[in-house]
Chain A
Amino acid sequence: MCAMMPTRSLSEVWSEAEIVRRSYPNSFSDQMVADIYGNVEQITNNVLTKQGSKRYLFDQKLDDLVTSKRFGYPLMLLLLVIVFWITMAGANVPSRLLASGLFAFQDQLTLWFQWIGTPSWVHGVLVLGVYRTLAWVIAVMLPPMAIFFPLFTLLEDSGYLPRIAFNLDHIFKKAKACGKQSLTMCMGFGCNAAGVTACRIIDSPRERLIAILTNSFVPCNGRFPTLIVVSSIFIGGAVAPYTGLVNALVISGLILLGIATTLLISWLLSLTILKGEPSSLVLELPSYRRPQLGSVIYRSILDRTLFVLRRAVLIAAPAGGVIWILGNIYIGQQSLLTSLGQALNPFGQLFGLDGFILMAFILGLAANEIVLPILLMSYLSTGYLQDFTSLEGLRSVLVSNGWTWLTAINMMLFSLLHWPCSTTLLTTYKETGSKKWVLLSFLIPTMTGLSVIFIFTQCVRFLGLV
């Protein structure tokens, strides 16, 4: 086989090199790196002059505050609340405008369909199914995303995120995980699939798997609208003057719960199937930079908002059609949709939900964004909604379908703690290359969520609070 080879084969040279390597008391590899830096220093000595500047001082002062014992953690919390407050307060009005505009157009569409004389089932599938779901998805999702993503990109660009990892590393170390996991969780706020991909920054394979398996405990943008709407209707709405702030606090509390769950599950994983000790951390803390407003808006709107919205629309459109069909095919007295909902109902009730909610979550496997629209579609296929645009209207639909504050809290908890969407599962498969981890990334959050709402519901019912 070596006939074509030149005088010496690779293996011969390799063993020769091995002898040379062993004859040297130190490591050649270390020496080479040191030598490269020696060359580098020669160059920089000739070309670089440092004049000392206030710029370093600025970084230092900011870090003094951002990573301080006293203000480090409160500041992170404050930022969290502020980001969600701005998102929710800002999204309120545009959401209402979009809803009224889009639903007014629905009436116009209906008129056109009648004018052309299409059969009523075509109008049903296309307008009452596809269009109405799309209108929901856009009205509910677009405004919060268009506010949240630029805010998040601003934080990302400013250089603050690595400081979060710096502040939180010791907590993750206690959970036998890596501080960089907090960065992947930050990405998860945008999209869990992106969060799973971001786990590549974690060097240790064990810690990377932990980060991948627990990423869905941070709510992604597809889930925020569900949390926001439910919280606005049942909690924020109850304390009229401070609605926005209360909602921001509720959402922040849920996120903290998600973070606590992440740490707990990471720790449990480290004790069981991903046994091991925390490895090392090498974290670069880059200089703060003033974000470029133009590029922040461009990137967050084009790359993120429109990307996520497109995905949601692509999945929501057919799902809306299917829901309408299910709601309008009757077997005996009941529509297929109602039968399905009733079949799931006993199971849902056990966990303080109902059959339709469970069905919406199951269909939401395709994309979390469609959970709330599908739920409303299901309720509406049997009832009427006069006022599409106010929370009061939504509230009456939910209450007339048997919702209590317990249902609302369970809905939010389960939205926070349940299986990842199909895109995230697919990404997990791509990143880990193993079906076993995909299955676990499905089961772990699902079992956690079901346990939490089951215990919560049974406790509340036992105490007779509902």
Chain B
Amino acid sequence: MKGAERIDALADLSPGSVCQIVSLELSGLLRRRILDLGIVPGTLIRCIRRGPSGDPTAYLVRETLIALRSEDAAQISVRTLLNGEECI
């Protein structure tokens, strides 16, 4: 993966940008839910849109659109990709 930059939280991603999952700081059932949906370290994820009032946010991951609240997305670390546009 070229173009790797700094480590961010998934929640800080703006719509349209693509990033790669680094690690999950979540715990319990939510952590398992997220993992089972294929959001595992290394996965590419694209921020698609925010809800009408800014939260939750919909992400495209493995061809599915998944909405997460900002509190939860804040606990997922990602690496922003500059040239990730074609990857997903």
Contacts and interface: CB of A to CB of B under 8 A. Distances in A.
Q: Do chains A and B touch in the complex (CB under 8 A)?
A: yes
Interface of A: 29-30, 33-34, 37, 40, 60, 63-64, 67-69, 72-73, 166-167, 169-171, 173, 179, 203, 278-286
- Which 9 pairs show the lowest CB-CB distances between chains A and B? A72-B52, A285-B65, A283-B67, A34-B40, A33-B35, A280-B30, A280-B72, A170-B55, A170-B53
B41 A34 contact: yes
Contact of A166 (B24, B41, B58): B58
Contacts of A30: 24, 35, 40
B66 A284 contact: yes
B66 A282 contact: yes
Contacts of A283: 56, 66-68
Contacts of A37: 38, 40, 43
Contacts of B51: 67, 72, 166-167, 169-170
A170 B65 contact: no
6 contacts: A30-B40, A167-B52, A170-B55, A281-B67, A282-B66, A283-B66
A175 to B, nearest CB: 14
A56 to B, nearest CB: 9
B36 interface: yes
A280 B69 contact: yes
A33 B41 CA distance: 10
B69 A169 contact: yes
Counting chain A CB atoms within 10 Å of each CB, which of B52, B71, B72 scores highest? B52
Interface of B: 24, 26, 29-30, 32-38, 40-43, 48-49, 51-56, 58, 64-69, 71-72
B43 A282 contact: no
Contacts of B65: 284-286
A280 B26 CA distance: 10
Contacts of B42: 34
A244 to B, nearest CB: 29
A285 B42 CA distance: 23
Contacts of B55: 169-170, 173
B52 A179 contact: no
B41 A169 contact: no
Given A64-B49, A282-B30, 15 more contacts: A30-B40, A34-B40, A60-B48, A166-B51, A166-B58, A166-B67, A169-B69, A170-B53, A170-B56, A173-B55, A280-B33, A280-B69, A282-B68, A285-B66, A286-B64
Contacts of A73: 52
A281 B64 contact: no
A286 B49 CA distance: 14
B39 to A, nearest CB: 9
Nearest to B38: A37
Nearest to B66: A284
Contacts of A173: 55, 69
A277 B7 CA distance: 29
